[in-house]
Amino acid sequence: MMANLFSGRVLGVSLLFVVILIMSSCENDIAVVNSLTVDENTPIESSYDVDMNYTDSGRSVMVMHSPEVNRYPTEEEYLEMPKGMNMVFYDSLGNQKSNLKSEYAINYVDKKIMEARINVVATNAKGDKLFTELLTWDQKKKQIYTNVPVRVIQEGKTLFGDGLVADETFTDYEIINPHGEFDIESEEEAEPAPSKSKENKSGNSSATKKSTNSKETKKTSKKKSDDEFGDFDSY
């Protein structure tokens, strides 16, 4: 009887010890899993002074530089450029066709959509300049667009609008709901032309001065895109 009781107590203690070990093991496993869980707010990869060269058939069509690029592991993986970026597009001859820069940018890798934000400036080969605070680049459609206010300087004229749609090189574009046009006037005053004077008996002379004012209003015209570029892949 005493032997059976002792044996039962030993068995109970052993079972309790096993249960404690199992629970401890489970807690450790959970801790390990938790430690391996990726924080979506923390980049899994960071690169600095990044230069990306996109080529098509062996020729460079776009080069992007960013001081810092962070990769985030969300369901929708994206690249963040918190210090901005500068992109240059080239034509088939290797000449610079357009430029796009901003103080912040984010690229959604799978969707192939990039958003340039804060002090966004785009310049095309003609010298037209776009100023806005948000510009979306759809790499599949080869198009840039925005639905926030824009300002475009074009051949001495400043245009305003509620948005803009253009090809990705900002060569052919359309301003949405233009508010008005403000011409930059140039006044050219000619120097007074020498006048023939006739002296009268008292020694007085008369002269005629002519001045001309000219006002130039330059007309805008849409430009056609002669080249299309490929998608913007992750670095």
pLDDT tens for each residue of 77-88: 899 999 999 999
Q: What is the pLDDT of residues 31-50, one digit of tens each?
A: 454 445 556 678 999 999 99
What is the residue extent of each domain of the chain? 45-183
Residue 25 has pLDDT above 80, yes or no: no
CATH for 45-183?
A: 2.60.450.10
Residue 225 has pLDDT above 50, yes or no: no
pTM over 0.85? The answer is: no
Q: Is 104 or 94 the better-scoring residue by pLDDT?
A: 104
- Kindly give, in sequence order, each residue whose CB lies less than 8 Å from that of residue 213, ignoring residues fewer than 6 positions away: 187, 188, 189
Confidence of residue 184 (pLDDT cuts 50, 70, 90): low
Instruction: Report the pLDDT value the prediction gives residue 26, as an integer from 0 to 100.
Output: 55
Q: Is 185 or 97 the better-scoring residue by pLDDT?
A: 97
Residue 161 CA to residue 174 CA, distance in Å, equals: 10
Mean pLDDT of 152-170: 94
CA dihedral 216, 222, 223, 227 (to 10 degrees): 160
Task: Give the highest mean pLDDT range of 14-18, 33-37, 126-130.
Answer: 126-130
| C-alpha distances in Å from residue 197, one per residue of 192, 193, 200, 203, 209 | 14, 12, 9, 11, 12
